[in-house]
Amino acid sequence: MTSYTHIDLETAACLWEAVLHLRDMPVTDPDAITRAMTIRKSCNELGTATLRLIVVGWTSAVETAWRNANDTDLSSFDWDFVPQWICDTIDWSDPRNPIIRHGISGIAKTPCNSIPQPGDPAIPVPGDRGSRPRGATDLHAATILHRHGANIHAAIDEATLDAELAAWCRIWWQEIRDDRDPLSLDDEEVIRAYFEQHSSDSLVKDRAQVTFPLLPTDEPEPSLEEGRYCVLSTAHLTVHTANLLDKWATWPPTDRPIDIAASTYGWFVPARPLDDDRRGQLPEDLLRLIDFGRDRAFQFLLFDCDGERADELPVHDW
């Protein structure tokens, strides 16, 4: 009977996680979208259980490739190496029989669709090494509601956001009765056609303006992650407030007591001053956090489950 180590089991889990990510969250280039649609076709024809067993069977091969590349490859195994190995090594041309290509050794250096790592900056800060300039930009966000739950997308311009939304629509295009090739349509037409024709999926878009202060280089870096925003742990919110933010994020922008945008693991909240009427609609813990951000020259807060906890703020265990 074959025995497996904990390392083998973790590798198998990394492989399956990477396949699902490449299928459901491709980057917005044609090759990644085509790969995602091909993987989805394999899922449909083989079934998830069968495909998972095939993917797990690649464990020894990817571990061997990692050992061979480990002396020179500095990328992380789970977030970078495994997704890239799948892109470079697996032949998906037969959806009922995805296989390892013959003659493959090591891994290519061309970036594939690696999985975002915890701590990656959500919004890059423009500017040179001397300072971070004061400025303002729009944060574009969208929520796709579907039968499996919700997908949250955010970008710094509408074209980038539409590219992400269109990539998602192309993957699920078979859900609507439209015989056109989604790859032949532009992003706006793909999004419009998909949500107009789908019986239940819906799309909500939102936009908020983000500004950021000048940070001189002779000042020490703040202890909290900083850019155009400040990242705080969701533990600084009560369960009641977290539920309110979840609910408000689904409302039309004009009905919300405050402008917010949901992210995958939390919420973006502006720290701009509020009039008395709006302050009266917000819970005390949220008001305290908004005041905390504004007092420190942050114009936007990102509440994230993996964010840092500030010593001077209350913590709620939930």
Higher pLDDT, 313 or 268: 313
The pLDDT tens digits for 117-158 are: 444 444 343 333 333 344 556 778 888 988 888 888 888 888
What integer pLDDT is reported at residue 186 of this predicted model? Answer: 93
Q: At what angle do helices 48-56 and 6-24 cross, to 10 degrees?
A: 130
Mean pLDDT of the chain: 79
Higher pLDDT, 220 or 16: 16
Reported confidence tier of residue 252, pLDDT bands at 50, 70, 90: confident
What integer pLDDT is reported at residue 136 of this predicted model? Answer: 57
What integer pLDDT is reported at residue 130 of this predicted model? Answer: 38
- pLDDT of residue 179 exceeding 90: yes
What integer pLDDT is reported at residue 149 of this predicted model? Answer: 80
What integer pLDDT is reported at residue 213 of this predicted model? Answer: 56
The pLDDT tens digits for 6-53 are: 787 888 899 999 999 888 877 666 678 788 888 988 888 888 888 988
Query: Which range, of 124-128, 156-160, 198-202, 269-273, averages the lowest pLDDT?
Result: 124-128
- pLDDT of residue 269 exceeding 80: yes
What integer pLDDT is reported at residue 118 of this predicted model? Answer: 43
Handedness of CA 35, 37, 41, 47 (dihedral sign): positive
Which amino acid is present at 142?
A: A
Phi, psi values for residue 206, rounded to 5°:
-150, 165
Reported confidence tier of residue 259, pLDDT bands at 50, 70, 90: confident
Structure tokens at 233: 């742990």
Residues 6+ apart with CB under 8 A from 257: 248, 278, 281, 282
- pLDDT of residue 108 exceeding 80: no
Higher pLDDT, 124 or 193: 193
Taking phi first (over 0 means left), then psi (-120 to 50 degrees means alpha), and beta for anything else, what does residue 103 get?
left
